[in-house]
Chains A and B, each alone.
Chain A
Amino acid sequence: MIAMDVKEIESGYGEVQILWGVSLQLQEGHLTTLVGSNGSGKTTLLRTVMGLIPAWKGTVNFDGQDVTRLSPHTRAQMGLVMIPEGRQLFTDLTVMENLEMGATPGRARAGFQRNVEWIFDLFPRLEERVRQVAGTLSGGEQQMLAIARGLMSNPQILMLDEPSLGLSPLLVLNLFEVIRRLKEQGHTMLLVEQNVQMALAVSDYAYVLSNGRIEIEGEAKRVREMESVRKAYLGL
């Protein structure tokens, strides 16, 4: 089952074009990874899919609907959730209030209590700090809160933009453990990562983005074995 179908996306900032006809598909229940070097357009693609920047050409189909012209908040209401680069928490609000904001979409409110318990099970440290202002949490805790917040809305698709950025090696391990557990629970996810090694290790499917174009795609196991990939991204 195809959860999301992105076709021939072209977009950029101002006059500068970043993406030159990018297409990808997310299979339901799969973890799909998008890798690429700095400036290849990974974040631009996510933002276009989310609607934060308009697509100049191409379409985004999600849950069987064309959402290309819909506002970001409408897409979020429909179940397309993005955990943005750099966390973007509500630093003035408490941990609990951040989670409440995550549960804004209508269908998320009914199961709020249940979701909170599930979140605390996944992230025990957050339960300890539930009344603390988000800006005072440590880097790792903030990353967890960012993911937790995204999960509170019962997303159909979860998109994570560079979640390991700025985390210590120990916290990165921790992070990928969480991602693995979410995958086991059956969430459809799109992961954009610099840490190619760990991303490919945990994914089902992978895309390689270079200069705004999809260079390589395939099952993660196979992409990991490719000579060009190993040379360019795994330092071998």
Chain B
Amino acid sequence: MNIDALVPSSIDGLMLGFVYGLAAMGLTLIFGVMRVINLAHGPVIALGMFAVYLIGTQFGVNPYLGLIAVLVLGLVLGIVMYFVAVHRVINAPELTTLLATFSVNLMIIGLGTVVFTTTPRAIDMDLGAFRTGAITILGTKVVAVLIAIAVTVGLYLFLYRTRVGKSIRAVANNRAAAELMGINTTGVLALSFGIGIMLAMTSGGLIATLFSFTILAGGVYELKSFVIVVLGGLGNPTGALVGGIVLGLLEGLTTIFMPVGWVPIIEYGVFVLILLIRPTGLFGAR
């Protein structure tokens, strides 16, 4: 037990938590709006990693600028995914949509393995670091936190200050009534799914600036996302950021007191505990 490591570890965990939160935001949005559990969440995050990497290596574009392209790419991909895999089964029992999104998961992994192989890739980004005593804060992590915050604020403003954003919340609340108001609910669902995928891919792009990755790398973030969705409240996107920070902090603290391999066990323990006590999540809206 190293108390000296407490501060650096907590800071590391906290900063990563912002990125975790961003990763989970898309998952919780999709679930909140259309009650669909997107099991393709992980592979989509990995696609975001590759997108930023390829834009960087093929076109020589700075990864942070590449993120903008990834935002657009994610939105388009999400809308396509909605119409291909989700639209027709959206009123079917939840198991059907689970299977539909899971099959997309398998397709992305399968195709991705063939195209990219599982050779690890990495983006070489050095933005210096801020050091004091035992604490080192990498520049890339700071930028990642700032971008995560910016995206969260952007999402919040969109959902609460724009008409389209409010119509998304309306559809999430009561789809039939929204239809009666003249809102094209199918369009709204497609857009929401698109935004969810966009958020996941963007978080992937950010993660790629921090760690090496393969097409399988999204899996671990998908699992963390489920825990965060439950922590932050099902369907509550800004709650996801809070949930992510909590999880990151939890990870940072846990690694000090026990072998690092135990961290996932602790996380899932928390996940199950919260589901038992408050099924709608700690900050659950519903």
Residues of chain A touching chain B, judged by Cβ–Cβ distance below 8 Å, are 50, 52, 71-74, 76-77, 81-82, 84, 88-93, 97, 100-102, 104-105, 149, 153
Contact = CB atoms under 8 A, between A and B. Distances in A.
Contact of B174 (A52, A81, A90, A153): A90
Contacts of B285: 92
Contact of A104 (B169, B173, B176, B181): B181
B164 to A, nearest CB: 10
Interface stretch (B53-61, B90-98, B182-190, B246-254): B182-190
A82 B182 CA distance: 10
What range describes how many residues of B lie at the interface? 10 to 19
A72 B184 CA distance: 9
Nearest to A91: B173
Contacts of B167: 101, 104
Contacts of B166: 93, 97, 100-101
B228 to A, nearest CB: 21
Contacts of B277: none
A3 to B, nearest CB: 18
Nearest to B184: A73
B181 A102 contact: yes
Given A89-B174, A90-B169, A93-B173, A104 B179 contact: no
Contact of B181 (A52, A91, A101): A101
Interface of B: 163, 166-167, 169-170, 172-174, 176-185, 285
A104 B182 contact: yes
A91 B174 contact: yes
A76 B182 contact: yes
Contacts of A73: 179-185
B172 to A, nearest CB: 8
Contacts of B172: 92
Contacts of B181: 73, 76, 101-102, 104, 149, 153
Contact of B179 (A76, A92, A149): A76
Contacts of B177: 84, 88-90
B204 to A, nearest CB: 30
Contacts of B179: 52, 71-73, 76
A25 to B, nearest CB: 22
Contacts of B183: 73, 101, 104
Given A93-B169, A97-B166, A84 B176 contact: yes
Top 4 closest pairs, chain A to chain B, by CB: A76-B182, A88-B177, A77-B182, A105-B182
A71 B188 CA distance: 14
Contacts of B163: 100, 104
Residue in A88, A90, A91, A92 with the greatest tally of chain B CB atoms within 10 Å? A90
Contacts of B170: 90, 93, 97, 101
A216 B174 CA distance: 36
Contacts of A92: 169, 172-173, 285
A60 B189 CA distance: 28
Given A73-B181, A90-B174, A90-B178, 14 more contacts: A76-B182, A88-B174, A89-B174, A91-B173, A92-B172, A92-B173, A93-B166, A100-B166, A101-B166, A101-B183, A104-B163, A104-B181, A149-B181, A153-B181
